[in-house]
Every structure is written in structure tokens, then in C-alpha cells.
Structure 1
Amino acid sequence: MIERPRPIEVTEGERAFEDVLRTVEEMNTPDGHKAELIRGKIVVSAWSRLRYFIPMESLREQLTEHVAADQVATHAPFLFSFPSVGRAYGPDLYVVDRSAFLTEERHGDGEALSLVAEFTSTSTRDADWREKLQVHGQLVPVYLVVDMQEDEITCFSDPSPQGYRAHRTVSFGTPLPVPAPFSCEIDTTAFKAAAG
């Protein structure tokens, strides 16, 4: 299968959000692929490339030192839903309340996320920089876009109904300040080796 995402059109109003979300959750995607609900469409795309693992794990390890006791930093493959905008994403890496996993549902509540990090690829870059930025910018305290094509990382913070009010971009190899609730500095040295 090629890396390009494959959208499946979902006509607005045709099915309730929960029905569409259930379809996404129950899809038998090929190994190495995930299904998300983006722009009202079910999109199947490849998980991150192997070379992304080192920077992804470096980021997870650094964040783990700064998460609250009732939270976890992980890159486990789970969907998080945003019912008010009819979206469901499987973040590359995220920090979430542990209570989000105490459910029989197959997806977590997007409101339990305190940080989302997306590692861009040619197939997902547009969604990471546009749609996900817009949706997360109204709710998630910190959104990191690790732009693997441009060799830089951007930290968005201070969400509002109009989107994030603050952001900062640094090149790989430069420390990145991450504001509250983490209040830490991310060492991006490991990101340079994986850059494309």
C-alpha cells in the first residue's frame, strides 16, 4: 500500500458522529496503518516511519519527567474523539489523563489530552498543520508539530475558541521551551539524526 492517505467520504448528516466513529474504530486497517476521521472523511494512512521512533521516544521520555501523577505520556495507537466538530484522531504522541483509559469505549475523550505531538509525513503534513491545529487549538493546552520535512518543531499553546494564541518554532538541535502545564525545555538533538 502506498503512503498516501485514502479518504472514504462521509456525507454530513447521513450518519450520526457516533456511528461514523464506530466505523472508524471497527475498520480492519492493514498492518502499519491507522484510520482517523479528518474533515468529515474516514482517512487511512500509514503510521510513522521507523526513523521517527528515536525522536518520538526522546520526546516521550523528556515529557514523562514533567507530567502530573494522574497522566501518562505515550505513543500507544488509540483514537481520541472531538464530537463537537465530528473529528477523531490517533495522535503520534500525546499526554493524557490516565482516567481516559477507564472506559469500555474504543476511543478516548479529546478533552483528556493535555499535549498532542504530530510528526509530519508527506501524506499527513497538511492535516497536521491545518485541521488538527485548528481543532486542538480550541481545547488541547499544548500542540507540537514536529516537521520532519523542514527539520523544525513548533510549539503551540494557550488555546482559545479562535485557536492557539502563542507559538514558537525552533530548528532541530535547538532547545524548545514548552509552557505550562509542562514548563520544561525539550532537547531536540535526537531529532536531527532522523530528519529527512
Structure 2
Amino acid sequence: MTVMAERTARTSQMTVEDFEEIAKAAEKLNDAVRFEFIDGRIGVKGVPDGDHSEIMRWLVEQSIRSGSHLGVYPGDLGLKIGEYRNGRAKPDVVLAPKGTFAGQGDWAEPDHVAMVVEVTSYDSDTHRRDRVEKPVAYAAAGIPAYLLIDRDACTLTVYSEPSSEGYRATRTTKFGEKLVLPEPVEFELDTEELKDYVR
């Protein structure tokens, strides 16, 4: 199945450098939100709630059980994403070979990232941010896979086969079913536990 996200021509609100200054200053003042810069727009990402944190813990455990060679980086790792890497995102989880981010600054290159993971939040921007804009931006950065854990729909959607226009393939699984992640991740998720972390 081919899946391309809609794109609209948009004038950037600011330069990437201006965004990075704003984000750095904001983090010093307020740790209740995280800022991202996707498709020329600044966005606010709320701090994870308890269920969101449990889902991230679950994913770490699934990776360890699988014996994966990849490191699992939950939290505040910033990535340069999108066309020409002019975007900035803080995925909920990044899977990459161990040591990938050593020596990188606040916003790392995504060259060796195997997969990014987002867990939907219960805010008004989650549809635009996680389901529309991020699949395009992560694919344009060449990230092989994007996993969206959607608490509203109780589904996991894995996007793969990145191109400059978005991911060419997608597969959706309901909470409770098993999901085999695509290359280069290639381990199976048992998603039964995710049923416990939705409203």
C-alpha cells in the first residue's frame, strides 16, 4: 500500500536558528512543554502523562526481550528532520545503534536512526502533528521506520519505505495483536499490555 501525506506550501514562521534559540530559552524557564519545528511552524508538545510513560517503558522492555542490537532512547533527544533537515523534532522514542548520538549537540543528525516512535497525546494538535506532518518529515529525513502508537484509535501504525514525499508503505494493527516491525528494526511487539494505557 502506498501512503503519502498531504503537503501544503507554507512560509516558514522563522529560521531554524531562531527556533533553536527560542527552544533552548523556553526549556530553561518551563519544563512542562517541549517545542518542535516542523514544516516551518513552531509547535508545542506537552509533557507525557502517566499512561504515555508506561507505553514508553513497555517499548523499552519489548526491545530488551527481543535481543535487539539497537539502543532505545526515550525522551528529549532532538533530531534534525524534514526536507533539507530544516525541521526539529523530539520523538517520544528513538531506536538507533548504541553510541549513535555520542558527541552530538542538542539537535542530532538522523543518519543512523532505525525508527522513531510517537505516542499520541490528548491535545488538539496531535492529529496534525503526529498523523500528518511527522510521517512526511521523518520520511524526508530518510528515517527507515516510524511507529505511531495511537491511543485514540487503540492502534499501532508502522510506516516504512521512506521517500522525499512521505512513507510509501504503512501497516496498522489493533492493540492486543502482534506486530513485526520492518527492517532495520525487525522484532515483534506483543501489544496486549497497551490496552491498559488508554482512557
The bucket for the TM-score relative to the shorter chain is: 0.7 to 0.9
Return the alpha-carbon distance in structure 2 between the equivalents of residues 109 and 183 of structure 1.
22
> For 1:53-92, what aligned pairs fall within 5 Å after superposition?
53-64=53-64, 65-68=66-69, 71-82=70-81, 84-92=84-92
| Residues 1:155 and 2:158 are matched in the alignment | yes
SS in 1 for 2:35: strand
Partner letter of residue 81 of structure 2? F
Aligned residues: 183
Task: Spell out, residue by residue over 1:69-113, the C-alpha distance to the aligned partner (whole angstroms, 9 max, x if none).
Answer: xx4112131211127152100101111244443225222112232
- TM-score, normalised relative to structure 1: 0.82
Structure 1 gap ranges (5+): 1-10
CA contact (8 A) 1:67 1:73 kept: no
Q: CA RMSD in A?
A: 2.2
Q: CA deviation at 1:166?
A: 1.5
Q: Name which of structure 1's ranges 101-110 and 85-94 shifts more when overlaid on structure 2.
A: 101-110
Corresponding position of 2:185: 182
Q: Which runs of 4+ in 1 moved over 6 A?
A: none
Q: 1:127 aligns with which of 123, 129, 134?
A: 129
Distance 1:13 1:93, change over 3 A: closer
Q: CA deviation at 1:136?
A: 1.2
- TM-score, normalised relative to structure 2: 0.81
Return the alpha-carbon distance in structure 1 between the equivalents of residues 104 and 161 of structure 2.
31
SS in 1 for 2:96: strand
- Structure with higher RCO (Cα < 8 A, 6+ apart): 2
Return the alpha-carbon distance in structure 1 between the equivalents of residues 25 and 103 of structure 2.
17
Q: CA deviation at 1:13?
A: 8.3
Distance 1:23 1:99, change over 3 A: farther
| Residues 1:32 and 2:32 are matched in the alignment | yes
Q: CA deviation at 1:30?
A: 2.2
Corresponding position of 2:173: 170
> For 1:16-55, what aligned pairs fall within 5 Å after superposition?
17-27=16-26, 28-55=28-55
Distance 1:58 1:14, change over 3 A: closer
CA contact (8 A) 2:39 2:137 kept: no
Return the alpha-carbon distance in structure 2 between the equivalents of residues 153 and 14 of structure 1.
33
Return the alpha-carbon distance in structure 2 between the equivalents of residues 116 and 165 of structure 1.
16
Structure 2 gap ranges (5+): 1-10
Return the alpha-carbon distance in structure 1 between the equivalents of residues 183 and 44 of structure 2.
33
Corresponding position of 1:144: 147
Q: In percent, how many aligned pairs have the same letter?
A: 26
Distance 1:110 1:126, change over 3 A: same
Corresponding position of 1:7: none
